[in-house]
């Protein structure tokens, strides 16, 4: 019986740990890039701050103030590298999972 209780507690803690990365962040995810997928370049949904996060990392890589309709998402540069785009800002990132959140 104790074994089952400890196992259940461990599973709950693991689930909270994985979910905590996105739950602890405020705001809404606007654009995502999954490793190996084609980049998506969209637009800011409203005026405000937009933060770039690497998947499973709770610390933003960069934060920019954007206006509704500014470019937001991911693109490739001339060398074929993945670039995170926010308005006129372009940041080369690894081809891993990243996402933009409006704060």
Domain boundaries defined on the chain: 2-102
- Residue of 20, 66, 19 whose CA lies nearest to 44: 66
Q: What local confidence, expressed as pLDDT, does residue 23 receive?
A: 45
Could you give the CA distance from residue 102 to residue 81 in angstroms, rounded to a whole number? 24
Q: What stretch of H or E contains 11?
A: helix 2-23
pLDDT one-digit tens code per residue, 14-39? 444 444 444 445 678 999 999 989 99
Residue 83, Cβ neighbours under 10 Å: how many?
Answer: 17
CB atoms within 10 A of CB 98: 24
Contact 32, 96 (CB under 8 A): no
48-85 pLDDT, tens digit per residue, is: 999 999 998 999 999 999 999 999 999 999 999 999 99
């Amino acid at each position: 019986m104790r074994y089952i209780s400890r196992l259940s507690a461990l599973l709950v803690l693991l689930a909270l740990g994985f979910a905590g990365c996105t739950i602890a962040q405020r705001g809404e995810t606007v654009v995502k890039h999954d490793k190996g997928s084609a980049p998506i370049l969209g637009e800011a949904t409203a005026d405000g701050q937009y933060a770039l996060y690497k998947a499973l990392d709770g610390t933003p890589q960069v934060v920019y103030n954007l206006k509704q309709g500014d470019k937001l998402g991911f693109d490739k540069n001339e060398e074929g590298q993945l670039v995170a785009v926010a308005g006129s800002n372009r940041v080369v990132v690894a081809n891993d999972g990243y996402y933009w959140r409006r704060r």
